[in-house]
Structure 1
Amino acid sequence: MEYGSIEREIHVDASPEVVFEVVSSPEHMSQWWTDDADFEATPGAVGELVWGDRAQVVPMVVVNAEPPRLFSFRWCHPEGQVDDPTASLLVTFELTPSGTGTRIRLTETGFREMGWEAAKLEELYRDHVAGWDTFVPRLGEYLARLVSTR
């Protein structure tokens, strides 16, 4: 099996502007993925993603923010290495207008580059696959609820 990247794609009935806001702002991200988040959607900004009652706090660095079409960040850095772009995973949301909505293409890359031993690489890759299989549909559900109330 190839453990290089994870790709997920969904179509939502929301404009790229609304989708960009939802994938790039802490207050929205915490409604469909994390329990809390703190970051600015500005390239180079360092922030954090939080699960549980701060049980898991993961540093992240915004790589690219091009409203309303692209948002990316790096995370899963080895302890204390948030400034090393080669030692992290890259998550990218590409947003493309499609009909009356938006096609969201999520890609997570960098697994092989982390230098993990084979068993850890396979375990973490499968964990992230399961995670995105849960959270990408939640993103779509959250956007549907959000758009219906606007």
Structure 2
Amino acid sequence: MDHSTLEREIHIEAPPEVVFDVVSNPEHVREWWPDEAEYPAEPGGAGRIAFGGNWVGFTVVDATPPKLFSFRWTHAEGETATQDNSFLVVFELEPTATGTRLRMTETGFRERGWDEAKIAAEYADHVSGWDHFLPRIPATTAKAGARQ
């Protein structure tokens, strides 16, 4: 297995504008992914997210409503995010007849300078994580859409 790019795709029965808000706005993101999220949802916006009290850096790379949201994460707090110290996650949103196709890719496993065992372990951990968290987006989107 290559372990260089993790890819997932889901369909969400909501318009791209609502889905974009759910995958970019920290208020909604913490409903489906981390325990805490603090960052401005704009390009260059630096902040942090936490799982179980463990904070990591989070930097928005691109925010093009309602089509694209990308960020780097897992770099040490206070460090500038680079390809050598963080993962890059890209959410691409495409309207469909019944909602939105959300395509997620995550890269950065090979760029960190880890040996093959560490790369495989990190990749497997992220596969497990995204397989758990991405299916939570439709329910969060339904709640967010109902509040609009």
TM-score when normalising by structure 2: 0.92
Note the residue ranges of structure 2 that are not aligned, 5 or more in a row: none
Displacement after TM superposition at 1:2 (Å) = 1.3
Q: Deviations over 1:29-52 (max 9, x none)?
A: 000001110011111111101122
Give the conservation status (yes or no) of the 8 Å contact 2:83–2:108: no
- Paired residue for 1:35? 35
Q: Deviations over 1:99-132 (max 9, x none)?
A: 1300000100111111111111111110000000
* 2:135 aligns with one of 125, 128, 137: 137
Structure 1, 101-110 or 134-143: larger mean CA deviation: 134-143
* 1:68 aligns with one of 66, 69, 80: 66
- Paired residue for 1:97? 95
TM-score when normalising by structure 1: 0.91
Query: Take 2:74 and 2:18, find their aligned partners in 1: how far apart are those partners?
Result: 27
Q: How has the CA–CA distance of structure 1 residues 36 and 79 changed in structure 2, closer, same or farther, with 3 Å as cutoff?
A: closer
- Paired residue for 2:121? 123
Give the conservation status (yes or no) of the 8 Å contact 2:73–2:87: yes
Displacement after TM superposition at 1:149 (Å) = 5.5
Q: 1:9 and 2:4 equivalent? A: no
Q: Deviations over 1:68-93 (max 9, x none)?
A: 10000001225754243443110010
Structure 1 counterpart SS, 2:19: helix
Give the conservation status (yes or no) of the 8 Å contact 1:60–1:82: no
Query: Take 1:59 and 1:79, find their aligned partners in 2: how far apart are those partners?
Result: 5
RMSD: 1.6
Give the conservation status (yes or no) of the 8 Å contact 2:83–2:112: no
Q: Deviations over 1:12-31 (max 9, x none)?
A: 11111001111001100000
Q: How many residues align?
A: 148
Note the residue ranges of structure 1 that are not aligned, 5 or more in a row: none
1:38 maps to amino acid? E
Query: Take 2:19 and 2:40, find their aligned partners in 1: how far apart are those partners?
Result: 16
Query: Take 2:124 and 2:15, find their aligned partners in 1: how far apart are those partners?
Result: 31
